[in-house]
């Protein structure tokens, strides 16, 4: 399928009234973007919150199955935790600088941002109390408090609590000999104010109970075909005589502290990076609190006591009215049974050619194999690596490891290969945020098995996802490579959409070998970016890599389309990304739009680009798809005067991906791959069920529908791959125009 087909699909399914012809007159000089001007660039933090609002809208969407709505609400809270751990600490400092250096119109006070956060939290709490809890009670389970249950159920919960959770609790009285403990990041604590009694010397004394992270937050009990959920903190309070036998409660509140999560490594004199990361994780002196949550409004005295102990300002306190909700709500979404209240189960399909082949290397050598996860099974990738580990003809395996997860079959295959005497080289990224402890453990286990373990180049995260297998075939050594947009993580491969390539193409596999050699053989160099690019670029034939000139490559590709449009010819760019924040690349896209290039951007998360501004970016359309799978694949399409050049890779259009990470982008060379990738873009661009479109005012609106012609891209892919595997007649993929209308006469799916 060529670029003309993609163009026709866009014309039919996205903008039926917009001409795809570029203006015949010479293009005017492009308007320049001011990076500090909020009219040309959206604030990254505001765009991030807009993304999480789209996640929340899936929980609010009444057409989403009930248990899936609990899942999206859980994801909303998980995302919010990450926002505070990663962004807010930096924003507090930035807000002070902006207040001194910029006008009020260009600054973003931290209070304004937190006001929006509070608004989102209020929406989430209202959704939980007034919609999800009643909906759950109608057909699945009741969320209740112990005192609302009958005596039999209450005794059953007490017995379960005594046998399972009680032994995990450490009750702590706060007094001179028992000072306030260090409040760990994201752990919940029940704060209890006791009534004065003969056993207490103070008018008010406090107790603390940490909710154990190994216990489930929601206790489930079943009776006569009905299920009940009770929050653990309510169970503790209902059975406080088992914890503080002497106490009578005056007040109680559940609190939770969020701390910054930036990792501070030890100084340059520390020789071992692994130990440096390990010590940095243990260092709590830099983990200052950025948020305090409470399950109810805090009494004045309790609030100021906690502020002193936690060292937090009052504006960083978030008080709920009924319940402290967290990502632990995911437990409800996993409620057994009730399949009608969740998305239909589907089974990832094996690749047809790999399934038939006795040896994966034979199939890959015959033709490139493209996999679209999770619709096509990640087990094909695992099988490739396990076969390499066992194959006596394989002499070496090289592998990057970023986020591999627990019980990783990929790492197990590498350990097995090393134990069998094969050369195994593992590039382990120790500083992958939130995965540091796991990666340290994998690094040690791989070393013990005999693998060569390195940690990339200090100062750059190794974000490229690559495997290289070297196999002796006759008198020669042949390389096989696996390249992916996603991590080597069997769990997330079931819930993230990603693309991967298995290939024996000599030029691509040679380039992969070059990148591995750079990662193991290039020291930390203090040199300008231009020198670094000139050092490495000539050695790569087909692959593009960061930080070795990847931004310049994309600017050249966008610039080529801009020049084509300026000459009056058709030009087209389609990009599918996770994030779009790089000012230089955004400026290039603005210039392309002003020259007449039709630009479609499928950006799941943060997007600083403003779309649809007249005379500036009116030829740019941005959509974001939020659905049951996390959209994680990255595709870059350029029309190239009808030839249709497509690239796939690990890099988003972000400064960190271009400057501070090792990334890999590769071309789609085979006709089967081009057809597959083109179809994927077509189907995404036609989504009018789960797509949100970015307006010129910086807000996202869910597409409003009428009629029967609805396209939900992820459901389409499930159907498509099932048909291919089971040999049914594949449906015509030429997509029809979605009947969408944003006017008030149409029915909205849910609030946006």
Residue bearing tokens 């309070």: 237
Residue 194's closest CA among 255, 251, 253? 251
The one catalytic residue among 351, 463, 570, 692: 463
Is the link from the previous residue into 374 a cis peptide, with omega within 30 of 0?
Answer: yes
Q: E strands along 308-428, which residues?
A: 317-319, 369-373, 394-401, 423-428
DSSP codes, 482-539: EEESS-S-TTGGGTEEEEEEEE--HHHHHHHHHHHHHHHH-------HHHHHHHHGGG
Q: Is 505 left (phi over 0), alpha (psi -120 to 50) or beta?
A: beta
Instruction: In whole angstroms, give the CA distance from residue 316 to residue 110.
Output: 10
Structure letter (DSSP) for residue 31: P
Integer CA distances (angstroms), 740 to 138, 333, 627, 693, 704, in order: 33, 31, 18, 12, 6
Q: Where are the alpha helices (DSSP H) in 283-378?
A: 300-310, 330-333, 352-356, 360-366
Integer CA distances (angstroms), 201 to 101, 206, 484, in order: 53, 12, 64
For 189, the token pair is 């604590």
Tell me the CB-side half-sphere exposure of residue 644, using CA atoms within 13 A. Answer: 19
First to last CA, the chain: 35
Instruction: In whole angstroms, give the CA distance from residue 87 to residue 68.
Output: 28
Instruction: In whole angstroms, give the CA distance from residue 601 to residue 603.
Output: 6
CB neighbour list of residue 342: distance below 8 Å, 6 or more residues apart: 65, 66, 67, 68, 333
User: Residue 664 phi/psi, 5° resolution?
Assistant: -135, 130
User: Residue 521 phi/psi, 5° resolution?
Assistant: -115, -5
Identify whether 726 is a catalytic site residue.
Answer: no
CB neighbour list of residue 644: distance below 8 Å, 6 or more residues apart: 2, 3, 6, 637, 638, 674, 678
Is the link from the previous residue into 205 a cis peptide, with omega within 30 of 0?
Answer: no
Report the sign of the C-alpha dihedral through residues 31, 35, 36, 37, in that order: positive
Residues in a beta bridge with 679: none
Report the sign of the C-alpha dihedral through residues 145, 149, 153, 158, in that order: positive
Q: Is 146 left (phi over 0), alpha (psi -120 to 50) or beta?
A: alpha
Q: Is 694 exposed, middle or buried (0-12, 13-18, 19+ CB in 10 A)?
A: buried
Instruction: In whole angstroms, give the CA distance from residue 562 to residue 557.
Output: 9
Please tell me whether residue 575 adopts helix, strand or coil conformation: strand
Q: For residue 704, give the H/E element and its range.
A: none
- Which residues have a catalytic role annotated? 463
């Amino acid at each position: 399928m060529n670029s003309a087909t993609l163009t026709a699909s866009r014309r039919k399914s996205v903008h039926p009234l917009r001409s795809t012809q570029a203006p015949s007159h010479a293009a005017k000089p492009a308007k320049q973007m001011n990076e500090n001007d909020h009219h040309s660039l959206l604030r990254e933090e505001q765009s991030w919150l807009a993304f999480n609002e789209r996640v929340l809208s899936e929980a609010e969407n009444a057409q989403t199955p009930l248990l899936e709505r609990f899942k999206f609400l859980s994801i909303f809270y998980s995302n919010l935790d990450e926002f505070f751990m990663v962004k807010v600490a930096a924003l507090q400092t930035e807000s002070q600088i902006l207040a001194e250096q910029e006008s009020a119109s260009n600054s973003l006070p931290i209070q304004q941002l937190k006001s929006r956060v509070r608004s989102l939290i209020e929406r989430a709490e209202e959704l939980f109390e007034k919609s999800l809890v009643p909906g759950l009670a109608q057909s699945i389970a009741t969320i209740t408090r112990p005192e609302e249950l009958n005596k039999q159920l209450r005794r059953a919960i007490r017995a379960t609590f005594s046998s399972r959770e009680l032994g995990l609790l450490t009750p702590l009285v706060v007094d001179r000999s028992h000072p306030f403990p260090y409040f760990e990041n994201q752990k919940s604590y029940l704060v209890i104010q006791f009534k004065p009694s003969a056993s207490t010397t103070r008018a008010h004394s406090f107790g603390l109970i940490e909710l154990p992270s190994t216990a489930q937050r929601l206790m489930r009990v079943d009776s006569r075909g009905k299920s009940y959920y009770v929050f653990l903190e309510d169970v503790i309070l209902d059975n406080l005589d088992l914890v503080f036998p002497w106490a009578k409660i005056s007040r109680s509140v559940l609190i939770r502290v969020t701390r910054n999560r930036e990792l501070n490594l030890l100084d340059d004199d520390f020789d071992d990076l692994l130990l440096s990361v390990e010590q940095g994780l243990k260092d709590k002196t830099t983990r200052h609190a950025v948020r305090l949550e409470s399950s109810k409004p805090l009494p004045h005295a309790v609030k100021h006591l906690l502020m002193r102990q936690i060292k937090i300002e009052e504006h960083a306190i978030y008080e709920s009215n009924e319940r402290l909700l967290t990502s632990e709500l995911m437990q409800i979404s996993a409620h057994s049974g009730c399949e009608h209240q969740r998305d239909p189960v589907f089974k990832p399909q094996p690749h047809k050619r790999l399934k038939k082949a006795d040896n994966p290397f034979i199939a890959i050598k015959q033709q490139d194999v493209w996999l679209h996860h999770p619709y096509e099974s990640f087990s094909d990738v695992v099988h490739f690596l396990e076969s390499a580990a066992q194959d006596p003809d394989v002499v070496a395996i090289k592998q990057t490891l970023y986020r591999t997860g627990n019980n990783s079959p990929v790492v197990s295959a590498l350990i097995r290969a090393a134990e069998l005497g094969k050369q195994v080289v593992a590039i382990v990224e120790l500083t992958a945020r939130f995965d540091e402890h796991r990666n340290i453990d994998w690094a040690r286990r791989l070393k013990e098995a005999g693998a060569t373990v390195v940690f990339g180049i200090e100062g750059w995260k190794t974000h490229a996802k690559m495997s290289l297998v070297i196999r002796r075939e006759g008198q020669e050594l042949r390389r096989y490579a696996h390249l992916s947009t996603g991590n080597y993580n069997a769990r997330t491969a079931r819930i993230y959409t990603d693309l991967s390539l298995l290939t024996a193409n000599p030029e691509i596999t040679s380039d992969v070998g070059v990148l591995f050699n750079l990662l193991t053989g290039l020291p930390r160099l203090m040199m300008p970016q231009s020198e670094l690019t000139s050092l490495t670029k000539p050695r790569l034939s087909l692959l593009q890599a960061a930080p070795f000139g990847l931004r310049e490559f994309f600017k050249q590709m966008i610039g080529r389309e801009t020049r084509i449009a300026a000459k009056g010819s058709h030009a087209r760019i389609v990009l599918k990304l996770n994030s779009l924040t790089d000012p230089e690349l955004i400026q290039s896209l603005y210039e392309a739009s002003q020259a007449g290039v039709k630009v479609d951007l499928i950006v799941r998360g943060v997007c600083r680009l403003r779309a649809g501004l007249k005379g500036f970016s009116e030829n740019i359309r941005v959509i974001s798809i939020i659905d049951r799978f996390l959209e994680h694949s990255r595709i870059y399409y350029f029309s190239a005067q009808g030839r249709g050049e497509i690239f796939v890779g690990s890099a988003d259009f972000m400064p960190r991906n271009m400057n501070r990470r090792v990334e890999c982008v590769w071309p789609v060379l085979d006709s089967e791959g081009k057809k597959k990738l083109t179809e994927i873009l077509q189907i995404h661009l036609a989504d009018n069920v789960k797509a949100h479109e970015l307006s010129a005012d910086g807000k996202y609106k869910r597409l409003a529908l009428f009629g029967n012609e609805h396209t939900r891209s992820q459901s389409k892919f499930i159907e498509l791959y099932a048909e291919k595997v089971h040999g049914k007649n594949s449906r015509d993929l030429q997509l029809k125009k979605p009947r969408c209308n944003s006017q008030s006469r149409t029915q909205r799916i849910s609030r946006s």
